[in-house]
Structure 1
């Protein structure tokens, strides 16, 4: 099925971007949000970490729903739930209600990532899948930067609530566009929602070591995006003194790295092996991490050290991410459940990393590159584990 042709491309780009935009659009407003509700920056940061918790949990229920009712109906279930959460955020009287709204919003918007990967898995395999994911991931790469830029403009011009007005319009527009998507489910499984079958399917996926290891890879890669989205506003706005709108514009710099990494991944898919591509990605993002860590360690907390280094990190991260995602998904015969487990692990890591950084680490600029250093070390360990696993499987 020609999934990536014509207007369908734009729709899938918007669909996979939906959760990322929902997550980060209002991050330039975090300092304003904290002042509005009279809470600390750490409490305001919970609105990001709780979103990622719901985002990760939300990956799991959509797989059996998609197998039972099809991919398209599942999209509308998720969009409806996200709309309820967005409206609750818009009219939230307290920070507590805003946090509840963000959780509901995240559970619903999770459908965008999960179903997009499932539909690609339905229609593409092997190097073709890597190229498809690389292309679609361009939107996933660009969406956070554009979302932050739009959020910065809205916050400066109209206040933090305008971010949720924008998301309401986005949800309605996406629902209208998704009407033209094809149904890619190979069949509808009437037994898919039986608890015993759900348990068996997920037990089978979670016992797949290759899927789990690749899920951990993409989770650490996603952590680099969302930890930056959570911590960078405080560094740039509160420490360096940038306005929310200028911060939003400068945040477009890292997305160029993400886009470049996706183009590299697409260009070399099928030419450079998956494991070698992942190692090259780790090497590049290590260089970017050092470009941030060294000046920050000596007290030079400057805009270029924050944004230019993040762009280098994202080149390597996106190259690694595309290969790890396609390779992990290829090991699962049930694409819906395989994609669900892959993205559950992915977003769980991102949620934990964001919560840990915002709640437990001191609010200093150096905390960001130090977390990056830990992530790089974990990626190297995982790569060695994958190499050992593949060597054992080949015997």
Structure 2
């Protein structure tokens, strides 16, 4: 196995989506006022990013398995650079949406390449630890991103945020050209027809559907908070952009701790047990948030502390689901990662649209959604355990 790819490089390219998504959250209300946007139009800047990110996975996944990880990453980062440039000079919602779509394409290439390279370079027993380590450090991105975004917004305006993202894309392009050697071996390269046909085989594989289902529920719960947080914290609780960044960073710090704890747990227990623990923590956070909402109403600590508990659990769930989901697909890591991410981000996009168009930016909806997602994940676990038990009885 080629393990010459630096871990920090995988972390940087995997962090592109969360960093570029979270850094401009403190500026959303300023963008709304300057460009004269309705709340639903403002939510579209999130939705377009997420939906573009999801759909481009289906194109980049097979291309990555056919033409290699490096080529796709270079194309994606170029789109990200163009999108950042357009955003800096955007004067209306159409231009900004085009910019966010281009950034969604670039972000897609980053995370797809990171997981595919990890699948290329590490053995099955190493992969859960590697992916949890990547998730742990990627968790730093949403900690620092809103803080940086809040500072840039206060001192230089919201356009400076996209200028910084453009400089970041240039830096990553230079690293890709100088550091990255192709990790996809010749014998694992698919033809274009094989790559496209693989989606059907992957989508009906029970391992893929099970772990993708659980990861999707967890990710949708996290994205529900991301979508509602600017309204809850800035508009309803009256936090400044910089203080919003700090509060958002605290929740992201919980994700970092959860990913770190997951990497520790992977050395002592099975990934399936880690997933079960994560779902229980997610459910606990949702229930506590709902109870506090009933007794004390909307309150900063009553929102933040339960969300940190749920986020800690989500950080355990996602890397373990990703590792186990990839296990059966040695030569289809790109397509498998693409389909998995497509499903997760389409679910996130649907959540964003529901929140925006129904105007349900409130703590009650967030707590109910977190609890529902966790309970649904636990139901999937019970169904799978029942199926495994029946298979064992039939074989014996």
What secondary structure sits across from 1:234 in the alignment? helix
Match of 2:101 in 1: 103
1:368 aligns with 2:362: no
- Which segment is superposed worse, 105-114 or 139-148? 139-148
CA distance in 1, matches of 2:196, 2:131: 28
Q: In the TM superposition, what are the counterparts of 1:299-310 in structure 2 within 5 Å?
A: 299-310=296-307
| Kept after mapping to 2: 8 A contact 1:216/1:349 | no
Deviation track 1:55-92 (CA, whole Å, cap 9, x = no partner) reads: 11121222222223221111101101122222222212
Distance 1:160 1:99 in 2: 15
User: Are the equivalent residues in 2 in contact too, given 1:220–1:350 (CA < 8 A)?
Assistant: no
Which piece of structure 1 moves more, 55-64 or 245-254?
55-64
**Offset, 1:393:** 5.4
Q: Could you say which residue in structure 1 is the equivalent of 2:155? A: 157
Distance 1:280 1:155 in 2: 38
> In the alignment, which residue of structure 2 is the partner of 1:273?
270
Aligned counterpart, 2:180? 181
> Shift of residue 372 of structure 1?
1.4
Question: Secondary structure of 2:150's match?
Answer: helix
- Cα distance in 2 for residues equivalent to 1:288 and 1:25: 25
Spell out, residue by residue over 1:79-118, the C-alpha distance to the aligned partner (whole angstroms, 9 max, x if none). 0112222222221221122112211210221011111110
Measured in 2, the distance between the counterparts of 1:169 and 1:389 equals 51
Q: TM-score, normalised by structure 2?
A: 0.93
Partner of 1:350: 348
- What's the CA shift for 1:352? 1.7
Q: Displacement of 1:385 after TM fit?
A: 2.9
Take 1:298 and 1:308, find their aligned partners in 2: how far apart are those partners?
A: 15
Deviation of 1:275 after TM superposition, in Å, equals 2.2
Which residue is equivalent to 1:24? 22
Q: Which residue of 2 aligns with 1:113?
A: 111
Query: Of 198, 201, 220, which residue of structure 2 is paired with 1:201?
Result: 198
RMSD: 2.0
Distance apart, 1:146 and its partner CA: 1.8
The Cα of 1:40 is off from its aligned counterpart by 2.0
Contact 1:152 1:244 in 2 (8 A): yes
* Distance in 2 of aligned mates of 1:33 and 1:252: 21
- Pick aligned residue for 1:319 from 316, 321, 324: 316
| Contact 1:329–1:342 under 8 Å retained in 2 | no
Where does residue 284 of structure 1 map in the other structure? 281
Q: Does 1:166 align with 2:150?
A: no
SS in 1 for 2:372: helix
Q: Distance in 1 between matches of 2:241 and 2:145?
A: 13
Q: Is the 8 A contact 2:221 2:370 kept in 1?
A: yes
In structure 2, the CA distance between the partners of 1:388 and 1:361, relative to structure 1 (3 Å rule), is farther
What is the TM-score when the length of structure 1 is the normalising length? Answer: 0.93
1:40-79 matches, cutoff 5 A: 40-79=38-77
The separation in 2 between residues aligned to 1:270 and 1:10, in whole angstroms, is 21
More deviation, 354-363/341-350? 354-363
After superposing the two structures, state which structure 1 stretch, 175-184 or 317-326, moved more: 175-184
Distance 2:162 2:187 in 1: 35
Matched residue count? 391
For residues 368 and 190 of structure 1, do their structure 2 counterparts lie closer, same or farther at Cα, with a shift above 3 Å needed?
closer
Structure 1 residue matching 2:161: 3-state secondary structure: helix
Q: Which runs of 5+ in 2 are unaligned?
A: none
Tell me, yes or no, if structure 1 residue 213 matches structure 2 residue 194.
Answer: no
- Show the counterpart of 1:3: 3
Q: 1:288 to 1:98 in 2, by over 3 A?
A: same
2: CA distance, partners of 1:45 / 1:386 = 36
Q: Which moved more, 1:146-155 or 1:379-388?
A: 379-388
The answer to whether the 8 A contact 1:254-1:314 is kept is yes
The answer for unaligned runs of 5 or more in structure 1 is none
CA distance in 2, matches of 1:30, 1:346: 23
The residue that corresponds to 2:292 in the other structure is 295
Given that 2:282 and 2:370 are in contact with CA atoms closer than 8 Å, whether structure 1 keeps it comes out as no
Distance 1:321 1:361, change over 3 A: same
Mapping of residues 321-340 of structure 1, within 5 Å? 321-333=318-330, 334-340=332-338
